[in-house]
Chain A
């Protein structure tokens, strides 16, 4: 538990809040009132939202910007959003990785982009961007779970 130092109040209060005291209080409140699984679901749906919810603003903003940007770049490089084809296990695994990014995946499917163009020079790069963006968001969700459980 972080202690608020003594001295001129305005200065120390500002330092306390900027130093993470506010974040810890918000995090502790959320940990006690919200299911970690719900926070993980939100973190999956919107990349970075779980960290933002738990008061980890800097991390949340980085994930919120970086992961959808990576996914968008994958679409721009004419990568493909793979279908769930259980007869082709590797394609099904790629689809599972793609869907790890959450809402951007469904938006792309809804809009009709992500068909991919196999003859494009950047096709494989696009696939790598799309798949890795989803996998990185899954890592972010696991990190959120640890934070919500109080392990970090």
Chain B
């Protein structure tokens, strides 16, 4: 309910959803009463209740969590953390086309688009292009960059139709997921190959989404193995620059991949999956040079070429105990105007889940990751040394203890992690869940999570600006890595409540109080003289950890199914953070940027099934202003009209950002020139060919 939820929003909404909904609702109410207890041979053609699950295999039905009004899986009701789950249905009906945009649907996540192909995504503050306290994984593969921290959202253009669900935890998840899962964890899980048999073809285009296409084919091979292959391509249009003209930041990408699921024995299952992709994205970046005009913002192309392959073996000993071993290799070569960076990650991970007696449910595991990178400076950014291999190792143990059966659980856990630059991190957590009744639970938790320094904090040399002085002398402001850059730490206390109020309404509330210490700052050092590439004086800023602070806030979500054909989701989040520099620190800029998040965010989504196999979905996102960046509050309004004339065919008409011709979401601080997000509208065709 930020300031920007304007009268215009109201008008659009009421005339849009309201009118249609009301008419249809009256109709349904009439039909509903006359239908009662009367023998009826044929289904009501005017009604297409959601959730035809007959195409789901019986085995998968058995794995499905039974929910009522809430789309959330019921096992969430046993998790003592702020968890939110997005389903494939939520994703499909949102009309969103990129992974970061899909995350807007999660209350508490802060998603801001910087330009057409860059996003800033975080949870509970500290946003930025390289927001470094949110850990994101796809099927257990970490997307967190060990070179620059954060996620390159640009290259995460997987086929959204392949996603089974996205589980998001706001708050620390370091005990289970490791360092850098400080303020949140996003876990993207793709569908099993068994669940994607047959062919799928999508294509569409319009304004902003200039053209996209995707194809998938899945089939069983024998009775123990299923596979799928996919390929997709997109071409997205440009946003507007500050002058209201085309910003030139259009981009395109192509991606292909596979997933194989095999049940080798009754106890063993294997997963093998991989992707290969290439993206070319245009953007304007600040570049500092020692020749006039010194500081420019050229429009250049960033190309990314990457691939990954992941294998996982799971052995199930009993319904309550299993062992899994996972390995992946991930490679990304990214060339932009200032730096060419190559990255190779090899990761091996095992987890053992076992119940001991009626009271203990242990999960423990270990992880080893080796990262090799090489960075060649072509512009003003370099890393020292230019190539480095680092290793990370960790072990963790968590036990879910039943204190009172079916009532009270206590889950202590701890992780020991040896990070490449700062050595041992200890990340403990304790969570207590009280199941007040069958339908409601209360939880509290305390946890510590660390963000460990990545490559750039130790070895960066970034010439951020060159200032010409009298007599041809040159001074540059350089951001430098420092051997003393250390861990950032957060101590987190949370409490939450969730309830299935009726069969049709569920609510989830989480609140937190955080204490941060040793937060990253950039401290000025004594100027020095450098002879290369031209003689100049360097005013250095060194990475340090000279800030601390506190924060509190909460997330609230409510899911409501007013009728069989209608689902509503609303979410609200609040965040307030206060930071202070340690005595001796001389970096006021970090003080401002660290706390620069919207205080209030609100969203309302409606999924409505209309007669004649049509769906009408709308969503509103109200995002508060960013005070330090002077980015005003904005309201995003999206609309989707879906029609599926045949079981195998869907047509969608999608409008995005419909309220204003353009708006700004983020002014970043990483050398990228931001653009104004513009309206988009496109059509999408989805054709399923059954196997």
Q: Are A and B co-members of a single complex?
A: no
